[in-house]
Structure 1
Amino acid sequence: MDDSALDLRQVTTPDEVSPELRRELVACWVEVTNAGGAAGFPFPPVDAGQVSPAVDSLVAGLAPETSRLVLASAGGDLAGWLNVRRDPFALVAHWGTLHHVQTRTGLRGRGIGAALVRHVRRIARDEMGLEQLRLAARGGVGLETFYGRLGWREIGRWPGALRLGPGDDRDEILMVLAPL
């Protein structure tokens, strides 16, 4: 799926999140997590009751200067989303961090995640005035390859930082995209 087949948009304030969009965000996050996705809830299964407070907190923190949701829709339905945030502290205000990059499981492999990441790069640079983006990815699922194809580079690892279960320790991979 190319970027032109997607409706890519951003949400910058809580009042832009309708009840329907909130339901779609929760449903996507539950679906991605329960399929084993590394999207913020490491121990599936989860349900809407667990995910809803996280969505509400994320939405409450939206502000054009510091936190935005980037959404991809296909055929009028949410196909994927991510969150980009910056810390307002002057020492680090020149960079932002990606959080919760996710695509509906039935739509994976169609370039939606890549379209979201390319789109947020433009938003971060042109609208938020950021100079670089950072993220932390779970090792063992190929995320460093995905992001690497989009220009990100690995800058470090924390070996065994993530314990998903007995005998299932994963590296946390630190990545950066600079310049934007």
Structure 2
Amino acid sequence: MALFFVADPPVTRSLRAGLLETWTDASNAGGAIGFVPPISPRDVEPLLDEQLSAVDQGRMLLVVGLDGDEVRAAGFIERNTHRLMQHWVWVKTVMVHPEAQGRGAGFALMLALAAQARSMPGIEAVRLTCRGGLGLEDFYARCGYKEVGRVPGAIRVGPGDERDDITMLLPL
């Protein structure tokens, strides 16, 4: 499966539906994308619409990995509005559909997100956070990111199940 990556695509009904399906299915497959499974599209819709609104307003940029016309990977780049921190961006809501997992789609998505960040004037680094306990920091390290911070127990996924909030940095 070779994905074709598109930055800032027009958000059509079909694209929105593909993003909703990918986010829901990836979360239910164990992905740490802001939810704890099981979830339904109804759970995801408000967050997806919030991020698509930010894209529409120019505060975020959407990068989508397509297999034909099917969404198989996506991530958002959020511009930093603090006047002293506008030289770096956040990567958020990184997702790969379960059918594309284990085939290099996640690595390809991270390369596409970094390439998009590099194309943004004045951007020198990319930051992201990830949930501890899943080995995500190892994946992001293979993508060139370095762990630069960790808050123990900051994410509560269930009673008595706290995970570290890990901050990763990719200098461009």
TM-score (normalizing by structure 2): 0.93
Aligned-partner Cα distance in 2 for 1:160–1:89:
27
Aligned-partner Cα distance in 1 for 2:110–2:17:
23
Match of 1:131 among 92, 102, 124: 124
Match of 1:167 among 160, 163, 166: 160
Residue type of the alignment partner of 2:76: N
> Residue by residue, what CA displacement relative to the aligned partner does 1:59-99 show, whole Å, maximum 9, x if unpaired?
11115853111000113311110001012232111110111
Aligned-partner Cα distance in 2 for 1:96–1:57:
18
Alpha-carbon shift at residue 113 of structure 1 (Å)? 1.0
Question: Given the superposition, is the C-alpha separation of residues 63 and 92 from structure 1 closer, same or farther in structure 2, using an over 3 Å criterion?
Answer: farther
Residue type of the alignment partner of 2:96: T
Q: Secondary structure at the match of 1:62?
A: helix
Aligned-partner Cα distance in 1 for 2:89–2:57:
13
Q: Which blocks of at least 5 consecutive residues in structure 2 are unaligned?
A: none
Aligned-partner Cα distance in 1 for 2:49–2:158:
28
1:86 paired residue number: 79
Match of 1:9 among 6, 16, 27: 6
1:68-83 matched pairs, under 5 angstroms: 68-83=61-76
Say if 1:65 and 1:128, in contact at 8 Å, map to a contact too.
no
Alpha-carbon shift at residue 140 of structure 1 (Å)? 0.9
Alpha-carbon shift at residue 124 of structure 1 (Å)? 0.7
1:116-127 matched pairs, under 5 angstroms: 116-127=109-120
Residue 37 of structure 2 corresponds to residue 40 of structure 1: no
Alpha-carbon shift at residue 44 of structure 1 (Å)? 2.0
The list of structure 1 runs, each at least 4 consecutive aligned residues, that deviate by more than 3 angstroms after superposition, is 63-66
TM-score (normalizing by structure 1): 0.89
Residue 101 of structure 2 corresponds to residue 108 of structure 1: yes
Aligned-partner Cα distance in 1 for 2:122–2:111:
16
Question: For this pair of structures, how many residues does the alignment match?
Answer: 172
1:144-159 matched pairs, under 5 angstroms: 144-159=137-152
The Cα RMSD (Å) is 1.6
> Residue by residue, what CA displacement relative to the aligned partner does 1:95-115 show, whole Å, maximum 9, x if unpaired?
101111110112111111111
Aligned-partner Cα distance in 2 for 1:128–1:25:
27
Say if 1:135 and 1:176, in contact at 8 Å, map to a contact too.
yes
> Residue by residue, what CA displacement relative to the aligned partner does 1:138-175 show, whole Å, maximum 9, x if unpaired?
01111111010111000111111111112321111111
